[in-house]
Amino acid sequence: KAGVTQTPRYLIKTRGQQVTLSCSPISGHRSVSWYQQTPGQGLQFLFEYFSETQRNKGNFPGRFSGRQFSNSRSEMNVSTLELGDSALYLCASSAQPGLAGETQYFGPGTRLLVL
Amino acid sequence: EDQVTQSPEALRLQEGESSSLNCSYTVSGLRGLFWYRQDPGKGPEFLFTLYSAGEEKEKERLKATLTKKESFLHITAPKPEDSATYLCAVQAGTGGTSYGKLTFGQGTILTVHP
């Protein structure tokens, strides 16, 4: 079974631009979560989507947004990029998440560098 | 607010020298505790899920245990290929605030020398 895939793997943008990252979950998985990983803050939760609905959101500004399509693929968008947005953006999928602690499987990440 | 603290920050071992990594957590309503391994430049790789105090899981040279306040990842007779960053994460809370959200510790960087 193929794992979580993320595209592109690497991106270089300049301040003020916007960027869209894509994530395809494991086949049959319906939940997608997004995380930002930086050396200083570690892994931080951005948001979670299930059945095309955002069910949970972390403490990030409104410049960070996402969506999920009917085939469970997800995209996240960052508008008006800042230098501090440089990070590894990770996507994770799980099968049928509820409150019971469903295991999340991570993709390889998209490395974003903002100049 | 959920808190996860891992120790030590870094651990250097000789091949074959067994040791343990610690993950302490303070959460309201633990739903699950997860261990991941992350190699440089890659996404976290799932290792274990633990749900309740007293639970233990094993995989090759790794064994994870869980109490009401902490989890340990025991590494027996490690090899150089076990070198990686080991991450602990929790899913906690009630209602919608826990959906899909893992709170991670800062990780332990393990280096195993041959």
Contact B15, B68 (CB under 8 A): no
Residues with Cβ < 8 Å from B60, sequence gap 6 or more? none
Provide the residue-wise pLDDT of chain B in tens; the chain has 114 residues.
Answer: 889 999 999 999 999 999 999 999 998 888 899 999 999 999 999 999 999 999 999 999 999 999 999 999 999 999 999 999 999 999 987 776 777 899 999 999 999 999
Nearest chain B CA: its distance from A98 CA (Å): 6
- Confidence at A2, pLDDT banded by 50, 70, 90: confident
Which residues in chain A are contacts of B94 at CB distance < 8 A? 99
Average pLDDT over residues A101-107: 91
A101 and chain B: CB distance < 8 Å anywhere?
A: yes
d(CA A108, CA B29): 30
Query: Which pLDDT value is given to residue A100?
Result: 67
Nearest chain B CA: its distance from A82 CA (Å): 22
Query: Which pLDDT value is given to residue A99?
Result: 54
Nearest chain B CA: its distance from A26 CA (Å): 14
With H, G, I as helix, E, B as strand and everything else as coil, classify residue B45.
Answer: strand
Query: Which pLDDT value is given to residue A78?
Result: 98
Identify the residue among B2, B30, B42, B102 best suited for mutation to test binding to A, counting A beta carbons within 10 A and taking the highest.
B102
Query: Which pLDDT value is given to residue A98?
Result: 63
Which residues in chain B are contacts of A107 at CB distance < 8 A? 43
Among B95, B91, B73, smallest CA distance to B82 is for: B73
pLDDT tens, position by position, A28-46 = 999 999 999 999 999 999 9
Nearest chain B CA: its distance from A81 CA (Å): 22
B107 and chain A: CB distance < 8 Å anywhere?
A: yes
d(CA B56, CA A23): 33
Query: Which pLDDT value is given to residue A101?
Result: 73
CB-nearest partner of A105 from B31, B46, B98: B46
User: Which secondary structure element, helix H or strand E, spans residue B50, and what is its range?
Assistant: strand B45-50
With H, G, I as helix, E, B as strand and everything else as coil, classify residue B97.
Answer: helix
CB contact under 8 A, A103 and B87: no
CB contact under 8 A, B99 and A103: no
Residues with Cβ < 8 Å from A59, sequence gap 6 or more? none
